[in-house]
């Protein structure tokens, strides 16, 4: 049941809404009074959330299939008659890989999911968003700005998402369509848990991920959801913005040389 009215009368599409950050965004928009259409390639998770939350409609959809994206937009319009906001959240982070472990084919597939699917949906949605001076929110990542070890393809896709957000914000400003992105740091989600489970010591990996934030914890999907509702409803003078949601992870110095790096200690002192 909606407890707020900030987005009453608005229709919002959220991709990858079946779990994790996407589910947090779906919940936040429902709480703000919006009608939410969300998609996911995982049908079981999506259907369960749809049952739980009235005011939502789930559509099974793979972001890499343009026909699925066309159905997502056309179903949204036939059921609710308008479109005010698209949250491009669906994405994937592969397990850690050194450059020599990556493949061009794997990189290409990741681009399809993390970047091109987002752009394909955006293109289909824009004519409808322009009618309502709507907005787009892309879920990028802090690592698109600061890099991440053993994640070249992922970092490249997210850097592109942030850059695309700014370029599109410029082009769509003439229609009054705002385009912003949220760059989360470590948010505790099923994906984070799965990635930790793929490491030799999952508990140590989770502890390291927790201590990366000066705030001493990971973020929650609900916190990203709250930021998305803010960008959609209150941030009316923000476009091309990259909103960092990181618990301060990018602040300050830290130990950054990897174990095999030759270390030179300066000997300025006598």
Q: Report the interface residues with ligand NAD, using CB under 6 A.
A: 16, 18-22, 40-42, 45, 61-64, 89-93, 113, 139, 141, 184, 186-187, 189-192
Shortest separation between residue 195's beta carbon and ligand NAD, angstroms: 9
Shortest separation between residue 150's beta carbon and ligand NAD, angstroms: 15
List of residues 6+ apart from 127 with CB closer than 8 A: none
Shortest separation between residue 91's beta carbon and ligand NAD, angstroms: 2
Choose between 33 and 212: whose C-beta lies nearer to ligand NAD: 212
Choose between 102 and 132: whose C-beta lies nearer to ligand NAD: 102
Neighbours of 1 (CB within 10 A): 7
Shortest separation between residue 174's beta carbon and ligand NAD, angstroms: 28
Query: Radius of gyration of the chain from Cα atoms?
Result: 19
Choose between 191 and 235: whose C-beta lies nearer to ligand NAD: 191
Neighbours of 123 (CB within 10 A): 13
CB-based contact 113:16 (threshold 8 Å): no
Shortest separation between residue 26's beta carbon and ligand NAD, angstroms: 11
Give me the long-range contacts of 164-169 (CB less than 8 A, separation at least 24).
Answer: 164/115, 164/118, 164/119, 164/138, 165/136, 165/138, 165/140, 165/240, 165/242, 166/240, 166/242, 168/122, 168/136, 169/239, 169/240
Q: Which residues are catalytic?
A: 154
Shortest separation between residue 175's beta carbon and ligand NAD, angstroms: 26
Q: What is the 3-state secondary structure (H, E, C) of 202-240?
A: HHHHHHHHHHCCCCCCCECHHHHHHHHHHHHHHCCCCCC
């Amino acid at each position: 049941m909606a407890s707020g009215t900030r987005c009453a009368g608005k229709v919002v599409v959220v991709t990858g809404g079946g779990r994790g950050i996407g589910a947090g965004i779906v919940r936040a928009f429902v709480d703000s009074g919006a009608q939410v259409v969300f998609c996911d390639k995982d049908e079981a998770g999506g259907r369960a959330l749809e049952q739980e939350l009235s005011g939502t409609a789930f559509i099974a959809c793979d972001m890499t299939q343009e026909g699925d994206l066309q159905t997502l937009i056309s179903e949204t319009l036939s059921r609710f008659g308008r479109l005010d906001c698209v949250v491009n959240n669906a994405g994937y982070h592969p397990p850690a890989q050194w450059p020599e472990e990556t493949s061009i084919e794997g990189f290409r597939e990741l681009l399809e999911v993390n970047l091109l699917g987002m752009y394909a949906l955006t293109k289909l949605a824009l004519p409808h968003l322009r009618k309502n001076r709507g907005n787009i929110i892309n879920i990028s990542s802090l690592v698109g700005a600061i890099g991440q070890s053993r994640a070249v393809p992922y970092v490249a896709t997210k850097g592109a998402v942030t850059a695309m957000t700014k370029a599109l914000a410029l082009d769509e400003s003439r229609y009054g369509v705002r385009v912003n992105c949220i760059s989360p740091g470590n948010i505790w989600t099923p994906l984070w848990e799965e990635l930790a489970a793929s490491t030799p010591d999952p508990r140590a990996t989770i502890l390291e991920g927790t201590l990366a934030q000066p705030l001493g914890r990971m973020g929650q999907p609900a916190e990203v959801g709250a930021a998305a509702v803010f960008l959609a409803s209150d941030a009316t003078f923000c476009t091309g913005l990259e909103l960092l949601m990181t618990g301060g992870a990018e602040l300050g110095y830290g130990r950054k040389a990897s174990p095999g790096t030759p270390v030179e200690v300066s000997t300025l002192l006598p």
